[in-house]
Copies of this chain bind each other. A is one copy, B any other.
Amino acid sequence: MANQQVYASVITIGDELLIGQTIDTNSAWIAQELNKIGIWVHRRVAVGDVWEDIIKALDEEGRLSEVILITGGLGPTADDITKPLLCQYFGGKLIVNEDALANVKNIFQNILKRPMLDRNLKQAEVPDICRVIQNKRGTAPGMWFEKDRKIYVSMPGVPHEMKGMMIQDVLPALQQIFQLPPIIHRTLLTAGIGESFLAERITDFETQLPTNIKLAYLPNYGMVKLRLSARGKSEKLMAELEAEFDMLKSKLSDVMVVDEDLSMQQVIGRLLVKNGKTLGTAESCTGGYIAHLITSVPGSSAYFKGSIVSYANEIKEDVLQVDPQVIKNFGAVSKETASQMVKGALKMLKSDYAVVTTGIMGPDGGMPDKPVGTVWVGVGNAEKTETHHFHFRFDRQRNMELTGTHALNVLRKFILNGSEG
C-alpha cells in the first residue's frame, strides 16, 4: 500500500471532555506520532457517553478515514457504554481475555497490593472479534477491530496508558500495514518577534517555496516555531528541504533560538552542558515556574543548582541579601532589586549563572507607576550583571508564562555572548 495518502480520525469519548472538566492532550500526541509514520489526521471528534452519538461518530469517521483511533470510555467507572457498543457495532460477543485477566490480577496483587473488585475483573472482558492490545500500565485492555478494510482501535483515555499501547503495539502495527513514506519536518524556534512581523520578514521566502514543502507558524508561550514539512524520504527531497531550511535560517538568524524542535529550556540545558557551567534562579513573581521549566528536562541535575523563590520581601533580604534600603527606595519590583537578587543568587547557589525575576503578575498589586505586568529580569555571572524591563498585558497565568519565556531568552543570550567574548 506504499505511497498512497492515509487519513486518520481521532474520536474521543467521554462527557468529561464535553463539560470541559478535562483538557484533551491525547489527540495532539496521537497526531504527532501518526505524522511520524506518514499518516495524516484530518479530523478529531469528541463525543459524550451517548450511544447514538458514538455510533454516528464511528459511521462518519469510518467513511472519511482509513484509521480510526478511539480513546476513552473504558475506565472502571465508565457508563459501560463503549465496550458493549463496539461489540455490537463490529458484531461480536464479550468474553474474558485470559491475558487481560492475568494483567488485572497482577496489578492488584503485586503493584497496588489491594483486593480486586468485580468492576476491575470486568475490565478483562473484550469482544471476541477484536485483537486484544495488552495494557502494561493499567487495567483496561485496548481493542483492534477491522471492518470494510478500515482499522478501528479503541484505547483507554488515561494518557500514559494510551501512549504505552500506541508505542508498543499500535504504531508499529500501522507502520507495517501501510509502509508509508514519513512526513519529514525541519523546525526552528524564534523568540522576541511576533507572528505577523515574522511573516512579513519571510514573505519572499514563502512565495518562492516549492509546493511540495509546507510552512507552518506555531505560536507557543510568546515564541513562534516555524516548521517546514514534506512527504517522502528520497535524497533529492531531503536535500531540497534542507536547502529551504538553510535559507529560512539565514533570514532569521537574529531571532532564531535553535534550529531543532526543542524547547527554550532544552536549549539552555544543552548550552550549559556544552560549556560545563551551572545555573541558579531567584524568582519572585514567577514563583518557581522557571525552576520548574528547567527541571522538567531530564538530566537537568547536571547543571541546575537550585532556586531561591523569594516571594516575600523578607526572603529577598534574609536569604538573597538584598539591601532593605534598596527595596525601600526603589521597590521590590525595580532594576536595583533585580540586580541585587542576581548577586544574592550567585552567592547562595554558587552557580556560574543566575537569572532572576521580580514583577507584578496580577490581577492585584498594580500601582500607577508600576502597573500589572511590570517585570524586571536580571541575569549575571561573576563578571557582570544585566537587567531588562518588560511589560506584559495579559492575565496572571499568561504573564507568568511570558515572564518565564523572556527570562530564559535573556539568559540564553547572556550565556552566548559570554562564551563568544
A296, B19: Cα distance in complex, Å: 23
A158, B292: Cα distance in complex, Å: 24
Is there an interface contact between B216 and A19, defined as CB atoms closer than 8 Å?
Answer: yes
Residue in B50, B219, B350, B393 whose beta carbon sits within 8 Å of that of A314 in the complex = B350
Segment at the interface with B among A82-90, A244-252, A299-307, A413-421: A299-307
Question: Is A253 close to B, CB under 8 A?
Answer: no
Chain A stretch 1-55: residues in CB contact (< 8 A) with chain B = 15-25, 27-33, 35, 40-48, 50, 53
Closest Cβ–Cβ distance, residue A347 to chain B (whole Å): 10
Chain A contact residues: helix, strand, loop or mixed:
mixed
Residues of B within 8 A of A182 (CB): none
Is there an interface contact between B195 and A75, defined as CB atoms closer than 8 Å?
Answer: yes
Residue in B18, B50, B306, B363 whose beta carbon sits within 8 Å of that of A310 in the complex = B306
Question: Is A273 close to B, CB under 8 A?
Answer: no
A216, B20: Cα distance in complex, Å: 12
Is there an interface contact between A199 and B28, defined as CB atoms closer than 8 Å?
Answer: no
Closest Cβ–Cβ distance, residue A24 to chain B (whole Å): 6
Is there an interface contact between B315 and A311, defined as CB atoms closer than 8 Å?
Answer: no
Question: Is A143 close to B, CB under 8 A?
Answer: no
A417, B365: Cα distance in complex, Å: 33
Residues of B within 8 A of A278 (CB): 312
Is there an interface contact between A311 and B306, defined as CB atoms closer than 8 Å?
Answer: yes
Is there an interface contact between A308 and B311, defined as CB atoms closer than 8 Å?
Answer: no
Of the candidates A218, A227, A349, the one having the most CB atoms from chain B within 10 angstroms of its own CB is A349
Question: Is A396 close to B, CB under 8 A?
Answer: yes
Residue in B195, B394, B397, B398 whose beta carbon sits within 8 Å of that of A77 in the complex = B195
| Interface residues of A, count at CB 8 A | 102
- Known contacts A77-B196, A319-B348: does B45 contact A44 (CB below 8 Å)? yes
Of the candidates A47, A194, A197, the one having the most CB atoms from chain B within 10 angstroms of its own CB is A197
- Known contacts A199-B76, A298-B396, A306-B308: does B20 contact A29 (CB below 8 Å)? yes
Residue in B28, B77, B364 whose beta carbon sits within 8 Å of that of A299 in the complex = B364
- Known contacts A76-B195, A287-B296: does B305 contact A314 (CB below 8 Å)? yes
User: In the complex this chain forms, how many copies of it are found?
Assistant: 2
Q: Closest residue to A114 on the B side, CB-wise?
A: B197
Closest Cβ–Cβ distance, residue A35 to chain B (whole Å): 6
A216, B77: Cα distance in complex, Å: 9
Question: Is A288 close to B, CB under 8 A?
Answer: yes
Of the candidates A33, A43, A290, A294, the one having the most CB atoms from chain B within 10 angstroms of its own CB is A43
A42, B396: Cα distance in complex, Å: 31
Of the candidates A33, A227, A229, A283, the one having the most CB atoms from chain B within 10 angstroms of its own CB is A283
Closest Cβ–Cβ distance, residue A96 to chain B (whole Å): 18
Can you pick out 13 interface pairs between chain A and chain B where the beta carbons lie within 8 Å of each other? A18-B31, A19-B41, A23-B28, A117-B196, A137-B394, A286-B295, A287-B291, A287-B295, A295-B309, A298-B396, A305-B312, A307-B308, A308-B309
**A19-B216, A296-B396, A306-B308 known; 17 other A-B pairs, CB under 8 Å?**
A20-B41, A21-B28, A23-B25, A23-B28, A42-B50, A44-B46, A75-B217, A75-B219, A117-B200, A119-B199, A283-B291, A288-B291, A288-B292, A289-B295, A304-B311, A318-B348, A319-B348
Q: Give me the interface of A with B, judged by CB distance under 8 Å.
A: 15-25, 27-33, 35, 40-48, 50, 53, 60, 75-77, 111-112, 114, 117, 119-120, 137, 158, 160, 194-200, 216-220, 225, 227, 229, 278, 281, 283, 286-292, 294-296, 298-301, 304-312, 314-315, 318-319, 348-350, 362-365, 393-398, 400
